[in-house]
Structure 1
């Protein structure tokens, strides 16, 4: 196990859309909750080019100024492969612009840091990723192969051993039996190595006519189809981190602000409202409607009051419908 104080970098994606405000919020939460973090925080932004119909890069001067004040480094990268047709590919191509050989953690930008990252025992030789995941991919068809057949075809394609990745405690052909992650965070010892393999595997899955994948939807699931294969190929797995830290006490992948107020802990809401409060942050974030209305104007409290935190709904659609009925759904 690596020392708890091992230095590493963090990367999130920033674009000329809602991600720029989420990037500011991420940076503010990092500095608030993990003040002794010694690595670099990179906000990777795609350069304009033929794969974008408009300039996607960070351009808002106020956003750039506050990111600088929060000691974030802007990292432009080229979109050679994905771009506007598959923006989730940003997280793959951004890795190729990161410093080679320096351990990293990627976070989706819609994440809050809520605890001390230095207390997370990363072993950067063994990659891992978020296990806050549902069985979103694959979706076996009536006449096609089941989970086992689909995953076996992918492991075989890349010369990987399926058996060593399987969780035998799960029933045969149940989705949890197979290695599957949310790409909300992942980590490894070298972003270039990870990114190159991630790109190789994703392109092969997308472009090759693998028979077992007929009828499978890869948009938006391409990154999550490739990620477990990449992690397994580097010797990582589902046990790479102790439970309860990332996606727990140290980070929160909230996804949408109405959902944050509806179902996240009191501590997460306290962190959100604390880091938005300083004027230099607030004046930027109030240009984004969900943060302006829910946090700055305090309407998030109305969403909080709609839900019993000891008896929360099981399905996301229930949250959405209830919040929409009060006119407070926004994204």
Structure 2
């Protein structure tokens, strides 16, 4: 088997939480995958266009740390989504990537926990660490099949070949659905063009089958499987299992890292951000200051669930953390 091609990484960072998460991401990348030799492009939305009126630029201190960790900060102007739909940053930022060079996009609320070398980026795919969040079929229809079929038909795609035939009809896992926390492919240019065009079309004209559906905040996850399928991709195989396991951990909110993270992952986080330059910046963010540096994540959050079965719904976990006063995000 030929070696997997080198690839670039794309994340998005802007003033506030994403700036601090980007520092954690890069620090963990350098700690857990020191031989990664690709570019790490940090897309910075500018306070113009669809972000007009919002201060999005990174702080000078954060910019210095990100650059010091090897992040290439590149500005972009969001013209379609911006403040009205911040998740759209990941769609519009794809235009920054070099055409024809393989890529992986990661949400900044991701901890790199193992080597990324050799990840197969030759076929478009995305994270399967998801729940059945969309669609929510109304009582009188259409059901899952009707809703998803309408989207595939709208963009001239073969719906039947996207199905997981091992799952029963009208069960959400039968239909191609991803978490947009990471996605990858061999060419960001065409991937990005389709993602942006189709997302804008569905936002502006949902059509009858989506009349009862909520597209906020699910629009990116609605369109992502269509793009992946249209480019010949699909569900990730066993070779990519590490991106939802040993190599990366999409923790989403820092308190949840202390709930779901393995002891080794928590230790890696704390070790990666222990340096003076990183600590000086991260201490400006309350979640990092209290949960990481004051050890409240270990001493207060983790014990809430130690030795007990976790609630089935993440909402219940969040509520328990909030009740104890440690939902710092």
Report the TM-score range of the alignment, normalised by the length of the smaller protein.
over 0.9
Secondary structure of 1:22's aligned partner:
helix
Give the aligned CA root-mean-square deviation in angstroms.
1.5
Q: Give the conservation status (yes or no) of the 8 Å contact 1:13–1:91.
A: yes
TM-score, length of structure 1 as denominator length: 0.95
User: Within 5 Å, which residues of 2 pair with 1:290-309?
Assistant: 290-301=287-298, 302-308=300-306
After superposition, give the CA deviation of every residue in 1:69-92 in whole Å (9 maximum; x if it has no partner).
Answer: 101100111111111101100000
Q: Give the conservation status (yes or no) of the 8 Å contact 1:128–1:241.
A: no
What corresponds to 1:168 in structure 2?
165
Q: Distance in 1 between matches of 2:231 and 2:307?
A: 39
User: Within 5 Å, which residues of 2 pair with 1:196-275?
Assistant: 196-240=193-237, 242=239, 244-275=241-272
What corresponds to 2:191 in structure 1?
194
**Which residue, 175, 179, 188 being the options, matches 2:176?**
179
Structure 2 unmatched ranges of 5 or more: none
Q: Give the conservation status (yes or no) of the 8 Å contact 1:123–1:240.
A: no
After superposition, give the CA deviation of every residue in 1:130-167 in whole Å (9 maximum; x if it has no partner).
Answer: 00001111110112300000011111111111111100
What corresponds to 1:316 in structure 2?
314
Q: Give the conservation status (yes or no) of the 8 Å contact 2:138–2:212.
A: yes
Q: Distance in 2 between matches of 1:196 and 1:178?
A: 23
Structure 1 unmatched ranges of 5 or more: none
Q: CA deviation at 1:322?
A: 2.0
User: Within 5 Å, which residues of 2 pair with 1:1-331?
Assistant: 3-4=3-4, 6-120=5-119, 122-124=120-122, 126-240=123-237, 242=239, 244-301=241-298, 302-308=300-306, 311-331=309-329
After superposition, give the CA deviation of every residue in 1:211-242 in whole Å (9 maximum; x if it has no partner).
Answer: 11111111111100000000000011113453
After superposition, give the CA deviation of every residue in 1:95-127 in whole Å (9 maximum; x if it has no partner).
Answer: 01211111110000100100000143x142x10
Paired positions, count: 328
Q: Distance in 2 between matches of 1:243 and 1:68?
A: 28
Q: Give the conservation status (yes or no) of the 8 Å contact 2:194–2:227.
A: yes
Q: CA deviation at 1:323?
A: 1.6
- Cα 1:278–1:133 change in 2 (3 A) is same
Q: Distance in 1 between matches of 2:2 and 2:308?
A: 37
Q: Give the conservation status (yes or no) of the 8 Å contact 2:126–2:236.
A: no
Q: Give the conservation status (yes or no) of the 8 Å contact 1:167–1:177.
A: yes
Q: Give the conservation status (yes or no) of the 8 Å contact 2:49–2:77.
A: no
- Cα 1:159–1:260 change in 2 (3 A) is same
Q: Give the conservation status (yes or no) of the 8 Å contact 1:114–1:252.
A: yes
Q: Give the conservation status (yes or no) of the 8 Å contact 1:8–1:39.
A: yes
Q: Give the conservation status (yes or no) of the 8 Å contact 2:147–2:209.
A: yes
TM-score, length of structure 2 as denominator length: 0.96
- Which is further off, 107-116 or 50-59? 50-59
- Cα 1:186–1:243 change in 2 (3 A) is closer
Q: Distance in 2 between matches of 1:328 and 1:303?
A: 7
Q: CA deviation at 1:315?
A: 1.4
- Which is further off, 75-84 or 226-235? 75-84
